[in-house]
Copies of this chain bind each other. A is one copy, B any other.
Amino acid sequence: MMGDLKSVDGAFETRLRALLPDKVFRPLDPTYQQEPRGLFHGGGGLVLAPSSTDHVSLIIRECAAARVPVVPFGGGTGLVGGQVMPDATPVILSLERMTRIRAVHPSENVLVAEAGAILADVQAAAASEERLFPLSLASEGSCRIGGCLSTNAGGVNVLRYGSARDLCLGIEAVLPDGSIHHGLKRLRKDNTGFDLRALLCGAEGTLGVITAASLRLFPKPARNGTALLKVSDPAAALELLALAQARLGQGISAFELIKGTGLDFLQASGLGGRQPFITRPDWSVLIDLGLGPTQDPEEELAQLFTGAERAGLSDDGVIAQSDGQRAALWKLREEIPLANKTIGAISSHDISLPLSAIADFLDKADAAIACLGPFRVNAFGHLGDGNLHYNVFPPDGQAASDFTAWRKQVRDVVYGLVQQFDGSFSAEHGIGRLKPNELQRYGDPARLAAMRRIKDALDPSGIMNPGVIFPAN
């Protein structure tokens, strides 16, 4: 398919310039050619930033007619290279000028935003009406909601509220033939045929471009609470989760695992602020509660700790007594990725596992990595969702760049075990251009065949984000 695609050339640009306002055309700034991990570099392209869905439609129609590839570009924060095409000069379709919050309907708990709206702005628009848009992730200050939906972004509140797809009630999207799907329904139930919304969410721009979405809001929890509890190991952390769920049900907004190695990395990098424990625990969990006005989160956390102590799950912990203390505990968790970056990982893995397999997986994976060499492992993340970031680092004092030859072996060990435990080699980051080969290797063959048929049916010329999800051939 890829062989038939054309590069953007002067004639194509001239044609588009005759059809679109000057403002749509943007300089090929380096930001459009880079991605956070530095693994992919763009091969050039024509940057277009339309201000309306009609213009997106016009652009896609022209690209389809000319067989010019299209790379949709949101905030550029994706971690699998879905936003950067190295081997061609595509149209880079940036949503940066479509940033309007079209409407907030507090009585419906619905917000309608254009795809280019920054996630933090969507959160703020909800908050200004005393509502919560719960999608929350490290890049929320710069990622755009269209990108969040296209990659089905996760983050820290999935346990309670679901991931981006679950938070999306309806979409407006331009399909690969340029037609506009008007699906901005504000309905909780709509059983009228195939769920195109769910299909486009997570398709990473390979089936069309989401231009706007109607999003679910929630009542803002009246009272929040946060605790960091020491646990003996990941198995104890999972028992603590079960205990917490039995007491607090859906009141638990986040349940994050932190490994001692992560705390060491924070310390070594001068990040994360003051650490609350005198003796650095091997494992701890960060628990966040969002409760109603008649519940006392500090009291609930205190009782949870007492229960955990009695059950032998925890013998030390900190319960935040103020918003400042809550922020300080969250800072620890949120700056772990920065600390990891400072230390420099050989290989990073965004994996998920059935909850009951996590402890066993970690034992086996750590042992297998130890057989490869004296590497350090920082495993942390969204334990409540079974989603861990399992990152492998060089021995203390050595640089990751000296171990790039090990990357493939490390990856094979980790993903092989993930497969064995029926997990996923990409829990929340997606496939992008980083993992199409892994998808072919570990994916279910019948599903892969169906995906290929759907892709060919909706995008017969293969213009939409080529090389993403499906291997470039």
- Which residues in window 247-304 of A have CB below 8 A to B? 247-251, 290-295, 300, 303
Residues 172-215 of A, flagged 1 when their CB comes within 8 A of B and 0 if not, give 00010001111101111111111110110111000100000000
Of A182, A186, A194, A219, the most chain B CB neighbours within 10 A belong to A194
Q: Are A190 and B458 in contact (CB under 8 A)?
A: no
Q: Is A316 an interface residue (CB 8 A)?
A: no
Of A110, A248, A422, A444, the most chain B CB neighbours within 10 A belong to A444
Q: Is A457 an interface residue (CB 8 A)?
A: yes
Q: Is A331 an interface residue (CB 8 A)?
A: no
Known contacts A295-B294, A446-B182, A447-B193; is-contact A187 B353 (Cβ 8 Å): yes
CA distance A82 to B166 in the complex (A): 27
Q: Are A431 and B352 in contact (CB under 8 A)?
A: no
Q: Is A312 an interface residue (CB 8 A)?
A: no
Contacts of A202 in B (CB 8 A): 191, 193-195
Contacts of A435 in B (CB 8 A): 192
Q: Are B444 and A453 in contact (CB under 8 A)?
A: no
CA distance A183 to B429 in the complex (A): 19
Q: Are B193 and A201 in contact (CB under 8 A)?
A: no
Contacts of A449 in B (CB 8 A): 179
CA distance A218 to B188 in the complex (A): 20
Residue of B nearest to A207 (CB): B194
Residue of B nearest to A300 (CB): B294
Contacts of A427 in B (CB 8 A): 187, 189-191
Q: Is A18 an interface residue (CB 8 A)?
A: no
Contacts of A425 in B (CB 8 A): 192
Q: Are B249 and A292 in contact (CB under 8 A)?
A: yes
- Which residues in window 85-131 of A have CB below 8 A to B? 105, 107-110
Residues 340-351 of A, flagged 1 when their CB comes within 8 A of B and 0 if not, give 000000000000
Report the contact-size class of chain A (Cβ under 8 Å from the partner): 35 or more
Q: Are B386 and A187 in contact (CB under 8 A)?
A: yes
Partner of A191, one of B185, B422, B428, B457: B428
Partner of A443, one of B165, B192, B251: B192
Residue of B nearest to A470 (CB): B193
Q: Are B450 and A247 in contact (CB under 8 A)?
A: no
Known contacts A444-B182, A453-B457, A454-B194; is-contact A251 B189 (Cβ 8 Å): no
Contacts of A293 in B (CB 8 A): 246-247
Q: Are B292 and A251 in contact (CB under 8 A)?
A: yes
Contacts of A186 in B (CB 8 A): 354-355, 422
Shortest C-beta distance, A18 to chain B (Å), equals 26
Shortest C-beta distance, A180 to chain B (Å), equals 6
Q: Is A391 an interface residue (CB 8 A)?
A: no
Q: Is A20 an interface residue (CB 8 A)?
A: no
Residues 138-168 of A, flagged 1 when their CB comes within 8 A of B and 0 if not, give 0000000000000110100011001101100
Q: Is A315 an interface residue (CB 8 A)?
A: no
Partner of A189, one of B105, B180, B222, B428: B428
Contacts of A429 in B (CB 8 A): 191
Q: Is A242 an interface residue (CB 8 A)?
A: yes
Contacts of A183 in B (CB 8 A): 444, 447
Q: Is A24 an interface residue (CB 8 A)?
A: no
CA distance A162 to B163 in the complex (A): 14
Jot down 23 A-B pairs with beta carbons below 8 A, ordered by A. Answer: A108-B356, A109-B245, A152-B191, A154-B189, A158-B189, A182-B444, A183-B444, A185-B422, A186-B422, A191-B431, A194-B203, A194-B450, A194-B469, A195-B201, A195-B202, A219-B246, A219-B249, A248-B292, A249-B291, A249-B292, A294-B303, A454-B457, A454-B458
